Amino acid sequence: MKKALKYLLFILLSVAFSIFIFYLYVEDNTVEVFGLYYIAPPTGLLTGIIFLLINHFFLKKQTNKTTYYLTRALLYVLLYVIICSILLFGGDIIYELSN
């Protein structure tokens, strides 16, 4: 139960981080405010879930503390950039493929 609460807290902090990053990115344009409210929370949620899955299945067995934290930080930032760019600039890919 304690680990589940830690994972839930991590996902909530990931969503908050995503909203904060989008808030810094957004100017006072109504189109970009759309990204703040409708793209930032799913980006943080997906990044948090995918990061936890990759961490659990692939990155558990590192012993060096320096590479342990550096690897996870770089993985999180890389996942965030990829998912953010897909959701922000990708559009509706299924709609584009069906037409």
Q: What is the pLDDT of residues 16-64, one digit of tens each?
A: 988 888 878 776 666 666 667 778 888 889 999 999 999 888 877 777 7
Q: Provide the residue range defining the domain that includes 62.
A: 2-98
Q: What is residue 24's predicted lDDT score, i.e. its pLDDT? A: 80
Lookup: tokens for 39: 């793209």
Whether residue 77 is predicted with pLDDT greater than 90 in this model: the reply is yes
Put simply, whether the predicted model's pTM sits higher than 0.85 gets the answer: no
Domain count, the chain: 1
What is the rounded distance in angstroms from the CA atom of residue 94 to the CA atom of residue 90? 10
Lookup: tokens for 28: 């006072």
Q: Which residue has better confidence, 62 or 84?
A: 84
Average pLDDT, the chain: 81
What is the rounded distance in angstroms from the CA atom of residue 28 to the CA atom of residue 32? 7
Please, what is the end-to-end C-alpha distance for the chain in angstroms? 47
